Amino acid sequence: MNGIININKPKGITSFDVVRIIKKTLNMKKVGHTGTLDPMAEGVLPICIGKGTKFAELIMSEEKIYRAEMKLGEITDTYDIEGEVTETFDFSHITEEEVVKVVNSFIKTYEQIPPIYSAIKVAGKRLYEYAREGKEVEIKGRKITIHNISNVEVNIPYIKFDVKCSKGTYIRSLCFDIGKELNNGGVMTSLTRLKSGIFNVEDSIDISGIEKNDILNNIISIEDIFSNLNELNLNEKFSKLVSNGVVVKDKALTSTLKKNKAYRVYDFECGFIGLGELGENGFKIFKRYS
């Protein structure tokens, strides 16, 4: 069994808990997720199965849409409501107009500092491990993009909004940053991932009580995942070259392709073999399926 299944992760379990459940249900080892959702978060969690695991990184790189709620007036060590409160603030002077202006000001690309309680590695060790040991560590900012923020609802001290963002964005950090910009504190109180790439929460399936047939009936093939890419059918000559890892420079092939554009590649005998691209040096498979 190979492909991706769109799971609706509930609150209270880890992303790896979902992976464990799928592994046990299918009695398979090659299962992985495409981007961690914190235990308190819920929503879309695409799970890669079999050869689908080869494409996890590509799927993780897609844009995400979240529905978030945050609370003004405090800061916690985890940047969410479940952490230990480290500082409190008076928020009675903050107006709805101020909040909306500040929230919308984050529609931009900026260097975001991840929370200390995160799975990012520094010197081979995850940040949350440093935090649990009480050790200080320098956390470098990472360039992320907030493409859009919409459906902003303000009921001070609570703020709700939908956010479309790039890979690597921490919504907990966004909530902290919004609070900071208001000269206040901000913690995330709830988070739902509505969309990850082509996967929508409306089309996701519940993990509770999931059975093998549920997965069989809902698994999406890798070909379908990348159906937006143009199809490239190789003849016998080019199929053999590409299959052997050769970078093809023959103009009989390269002249028909656009540079730096990905294609779904099909062998003349074996069918779908992966994703390919024409670069400066020629055409090659950059993500192999078979």
Distance CA 154, CA 161 (A): 9
* Domain span including residue 26: 3-62+198-222
Question: Quick one: 23 and 118 in the same domain?
Answer: no
CB count, 10 Å around CB of 274?
23
Calculate the alpha carbon distances from 54 to 105, 209, 249, 269 in Å.
37, 27, 26, 22
Whole-number pLDDT of residue 135: 76
Q: Would you say 103 and 68 are in contact if contact means Cβ atoms under 8 Å apart?
A: no
**pLDDT tens digits for range 205-220:** 999 989 999 999 999 9
Same domain? For 205 and 257 the reply is no
202 and 149 inside one domain: no
* Amino acid in the structure at residue 246: V
When mean pLDDT is compared across 82-96, 148-162, 173-187, 228-242, the lowest value belongs to 228-242
**Could you tell me which of 236, 235, 210, 205 has the C-alpha nearest to residue 220?**
205
Residue 234 shares a structural domain with residue 251: yes
Instruction: Specify the CATH number for the domain of residue 150.
Output: 3.30.2350.10
Instruction: Tell me, yes or no, whether 58 and 202 share the same domain.
Output: yes
Predicted local distance difference test score (pLDDT) of residue 133: 75
Q: Average pLDDT, whole number, for the chain?
A: 93
Give the number of domains in the chain: 3
> What is the spatial distance between Cα 189 and Cα 157, in angstroms, rounded to a whole number?
11
pLDDT above 90 covers what percent of the chain?
77
Q: Give the gyration radius of the chain's Cα atoms.
A: 22
pLDDT at 178 over 90: yes
| Rounded distance between C-alpha atoms, residue 260 and residue 213, angstroms | 39
Nearest to 82, CA basis, from 113, 119, 41, 43: 41
In angstroms, the first-to-last Cα distance of the chain is: 13
**In a shared domain, residues 92 and 187:** yes
Q: Which residues are catalytic?
A: 38
